[in-house]
Amino acid sequence: MKARKNIFYAQSGGVTAVINSSACGVIETARASRARIGKVYAGHNGIIGALTENLIDTSFETNKSIAALRHTPAGAFGSCRYKLKSLEKHEAEYRRLIEVFRAHNIGYFFYNGGGDSADTCLKVSRLSKTMGYPIQAIHIPKTIDNDLPYTDNCPGFGSVAKYVAISTREASFDVASMAKTSTKIFILEVMGRHAGWIAAAGGMATINNDIPVIILFPEVKFDRNKFMHIVDKNIRRYGYCSIVVSEGVRSSDGRFLSDHGITDAFGHAQLGGVAPVIASMIKSDLNLKYHWAVADYLQRSARHIASKTDETQAYALGKAAVKLALEGKNSVMPAICRTSNRPYRWKISEVSLDKVANKEKLMPRGFISRDGFGITNRCREYLEPLIRGENYPPYRNGLPQYKFLTNTLVPKKLKHSFTIR
């Protein structure tokens, strides 16, 4: 009888409030398919776990522990920001992956991440064929930036959007209370290097224009004079103003306002700190009292306020990935396909990885208001279902109960080690 192939699953890049739901979907579906699938191994700290042969045997975890992943934020097995280099110049890394997969009878590779992860999946699939050990590589979409093409939205984004919308709304009520005698401006900095999806969620904070919110998108070149004009206009009308600014906002010459000259492992500019830049401009030009905050990790780890839609879709995509593998599919990604807005309906489709790898989906111009500082009704209609529904974790003594796994490592089989550079 032919031995059942094992699964290798790994989490990549910045984690989210619901990435573990995708992991749960993978593991629970694999356990229900034991007749055709062996064990599920997870990479300890993402793809680095495969390169260093640090594989976590999830069979040591109880069904109850795996189920608890659906309400636990961040990466249960550890993630990483490690970009595999080009296949042509750094083939050794990819060959190492195949060696590890061969040694542990791994026939399925599930990589849970963004565009760079899709590229890794694609390259592993191609090289494995030439090495005579074919791997079915399935990419599971995940990114709070919501910038993957060919999927209506990305798991992780809906919960961040909900967090940003609620935080902006609540902070605006706070500022409104103090505007007569104190702070008149609140600035919230959110993530989003090139795409303004997260910043756009700040527009959901206002209902029938009951509070003034200005949004600064990466897709719209920052014009200081126009910006100050609309800030002043809102102050005159409402007495206060909230501003949601994406970390990727650029000046007219194309430079990031918050670029510190540092890059991460993927070669991306290390951004952050645009809120105080905007605040200092407002102080200089309008002499208004302000407060600013950076959502940073808080926006992507806020499982206590996650979107039910988001969590449901994250799990469904993990489940779909296993089913695609069992159907013999390779080099594909399960994607969310919206079929209706009213009522909101969606289904799972599939897309070839060569269409997804290293591609970015920016905000459509039709989603941004004519003046460039807000969202349109089309954008609101798109966002509203994604932040819908509450999916609270269990609480005890006032705190959410999250799950840490045992993460038992599999004994190594290869004699030689691999050094991460």
Which H or E element spans position 329? none
Give the count of beta carbons closer than 10 Å to the beta carbon of residue 1. 3
Rounded distance, CA 171 to CA 158, Å?
A: 20
Rounded distance, CA 75 to CA 287, Å?
A: 43
Q: Judge if the upstream peptide bond of residue 343 is cis by omega within 30 degrees of 0.
A: yes
Per the annotation, the verdict on 223 as an active-site residue is no
Closest CA to 184 of 125, 243, 259: 243
| Position 127, amino acid | L
Rounded distance, CA 18 to CA 153, Å?
A: 14
Rounded distance, CA 93 to CA 87, Å?
A: 8
Q: What angle do CA 102, 108, 114 make, to 5 degrees?
A: 120
152's CB contacts (< 8 A; 6+ apart) are: 335, 336, 337, 338, 346
Q: Catalytic one among 116, 145, 147, 259?
A: 145
Residue 230, CA distances (Å) to 52, 170, 190, 227, 243 in order: 53, 21, 20, 5, 11
CB 61 within 8 A of CB 406: yes
Residue 158, CA distances (Å) to 234, 299, 307, 345 in order: 28, 11, 6, 15
CB 45 within 8 A of CB 175: no
Q: What angle do CA 198, 204, 206 make, to 5 degrees?
A: 135
Place of tokens 């992991």: 23
Q: What angle do CA 60, 48, 113 make, to 5 degrees?
A: 85
Angle between helices 115-130 and 91-103 (to 10 degrees): 70
Residue 214's DSSP bridge partners are: 243
Give the count of beta carbons closer than 10 Å to the beta carbon of residue 145. 25
CB 243 within 8 A of CB 186: yes
Rounded distance, CA 298 to CA 155, Å?
A: 17
Q: Which residues are catalytic?
A: 145
